[in-house]
Amino acid sequence: MSQSADQPGRQPDATDRPTIFVVYGATGDLSRRLVSPAFFELARLGRLPRRWRLIGSGRGEKSHEEFRGFLHEALEEFGPQPSDGPWEEFAQNLLFAGGGFTAEDPGELLDVVGRARADLDDGTGDDAQVVHYLAIPPGAFLETTKAIQAHGLVEGSRVVYEKPYGTSLETFEELDAQVQRVFDEEQVFRIDHFLAFEAQQDVIHARFANPWLASIWNAEHVAQVQVDIAETLDVAQRASFYDATGAFLDMIVTHLFQMAATVAMEPPADLGPGALQAARDAALQDFRELDPSEVVLGQFEGYTDIEGVPEDSTTDTLAAARVWVDNDRWRGVPFLLRSGKKMAADAQRVTLVLREPADGPYAGQDVEPSTISFSLLEGGAFDVAVTVRRPGVAGGLAQGTATLPLDSFEGSGPALPYVHLIEHVLTGDRSLFTGVEGLRAAWTCIERFSQDRPAVQPYAPGTWGPEAVDELAAPGQWFLR
């Protein structure tokens, strides 16, 4: 195979180092829906390296052409459409290595990697770097890590681990000990794709770029912080995975903890690759050990009727928790986290609920609290709800909301989270990835809860969960209700 030509419209800051991406689990659901479309989007934007190959690794047998057809179908289903970009050029860079990949048997991978290295060699001695992307179930992380070491694919490489990176403090420590034995920390990228949402990033930039907002980002002015990820969908397409995991492990201790830490973190020295990750990690280390009495688990009625779900399943399809951050900025402010399936709406929001007036004519009056809210859906939005005088002779108070759609700026458009993440791996930017100390703190925070889980309570589909969820927000209430 001849080297591909420079990409049309290729951005000047895209890396020039030849790169071989190895996607383990390349024919799985995650790769098909999210990872592969992100690679094609990067090709459309001209942000892949000048010389690259993507090798799909899997247990099955596929020819290179069959793998290209597989990804073409994935793009037709999930976008971007092949007709919208340089599909033919992109496809020339796709290879497949079947037969699996273990420490005992590398399957076809070593041969295909060798072929890719030869294709990318232009005689300058600039050897290709390898990026290992583990789009596989977390139970396979350890074995694949050992196989990468066994077959000499560690030196000069980078490795990307999907979440969850462990399922408890014990499994986290076991996995990370092996990873640290094999890789230097600078080589490791641990994904939580919610950190790459456009609006999630804007929480950071809006706070620090606007002094008025930064000045009220503390316990003096904020009564509650709420992080809500609600879905109207059920789990029918992934019932077996979900029943073994549940909402708390799938969402709360991963995505929502990271989002809460993004809100809670102290101002970093700068917005460089390491500073944001370090600031989030430090915030997570201030999370108080989770009290099981401040966690509510729910299961929507009809869940056990889904094919693949045991009749006696006690898996939580909704989880809500009240988390406390023990530092001077946030002491006494509850962080309310909620996520679930078959809820009343599809919503993803981070909301700061401001305190009611402490003095003046409205002190002690029944005034709707002002809020600052970030929607994470689609392009994102920034909302500020304020109380004003109602126009007219009767007067009185009314609350209105000013909304700034974050995709409304001329010449801008939201990028998929995985587009951000893969490009950051290429550039070595760790700002959108989880840190090992933060993950350790998160798993430590839930140790008591893991040993004393509250009973799962039923809730009707199309609601906001069991009544006990509302009690977590008392004396206030959930922004989404």
Smallest CA-to-CA distance from 128 within 40, 32, 55 is with: 55
Distance CA 229, CA 321 (A): 13
Tell me how far CA of residue 142 lies from CA of 170, 181, 279, 441, 443, in angstroms.
14, 12, 28, 21, 18
Report CA torsion sign: 16, 268, 414, 259. positive
Question: What tokens does 274 get?
Answer: 């390491």
Edge-to-edge strand ranges of the sheet holding 381-389:
397-405, 381-389, 371-375, 347-354, 222-230, 334-340, 318-324, 295-300, 456-459
Task: Give 391's contacts (C-beta < 8 A, 6+ positions apart).
Answer: none
- Say if residues 192 and 255 touch (Cβ distance below 8 Å): yes
Annotated binding residues for substrate: 193, 231, 250, 341
Q: Which of 481, 475, 436 is nearest to 463 (CA)?
A: 481
Other Cβ atoms less than 10 A from the Cβ of 279: the count is: 23
Residue whose pair of structure tokens reads 């399809």 in the numeric block? 317
Distance between CA atoms of residues 37 and 87, nearest Å: 12
Residues with a catalytic annotation lie at 255
Residues annotated within the binding site are 25-32, 59, 163, 193, 231, 250, 341
